Structure 1
């Protein structure tokens, strides 16, 4: 493992888990009309050593601001598929200059499935080209 003095650490991550927001995503008219809760888990991959060395928030990702931006996407323009929503959320993560990759999970615990189930989750991983 590489230390701060040696350069980037590939395994550095910042995660926000269980972020909740109400959205109107789905293919059924009732989903668009009534909306439902979505739960997000996001992991950012980046080198945190510059922030740690300088104890400087500007050298990392402000996870509070990130959470607010992610919620705006969920509460915003509806899409049919949670795969599309996950991609939009990954784009928000990758817009942060220091983020090299992001893993985004979108949970849809109230999905319209007429059988007992715990959750529906779509997880994607995206990185800079």
Structure 2
């Protein structure tokens, strides 16, 4: 299966368990891997045969910058659901959300969740 990769999309959202996260917000980085057959698009050179990256970006932005959720797991699930329902050519996707500054003690670069979802046959 071919892939379209969109890496390091950066958004500002209000997701988290703590009230200060919902009030102050924070940065989130999102990577998506879209599994689809790109052979037709490669031969036709026509956007109708592929997945519009700009549309993907706007859908992800709408979710991450939209309604606050307690868990980044729920944000990732919303993104995957929306991508799979919005693009007929999409077979499956991987969504990774990185939270670089979570309000938890310790020394680390970031925390992240990554999910893989496919269309039901």
| Aligned: 1:122 with 2:113 | yes
1:105 aligns with 2:112: no
* 1-structure distance, mates of 2:82, 2:6: 14
Q: Which runs of 5+ in 2 are unaligned?
A: none
Deviation at 1:92, TM superposition (A): 2.1
- TM-score, structure 1 as length reference: 0.90
Residue in structure 1 matched with residue 54 of structure 2 by the alignment: 64
Gaps of 5+ in 1: 1-9
In the TM superposition, structure 1's runs of 4+ consecutive aligned residues that sit over 6 Å from their partners are none
- TM-score (structure 2 length as normaliser): 0.96
In the alignment, what sits opposite 1:36? 26
For residues 123 and 40 of structure 1, what CA distance do their matches in structure 2 show?
10
Q: Which has a greater percent of strand?
A: 2
8 Å contact from structure 2 (residues 59, 83) kept in 1: no
* Deviation (angstroms), 1:27: 0.6
Deviations 1:61-112 (A, max 9, x none): 0111111110110000010000000000111221211000000000001111
Partner of 1:54: 44
Report SS of the residue matched to 2:10: strand
**Equivalent-residue separation in structure 1 for 2:111 and 2:104 (angstroms):** 9
- Larger-gyration structure (1/2): 1
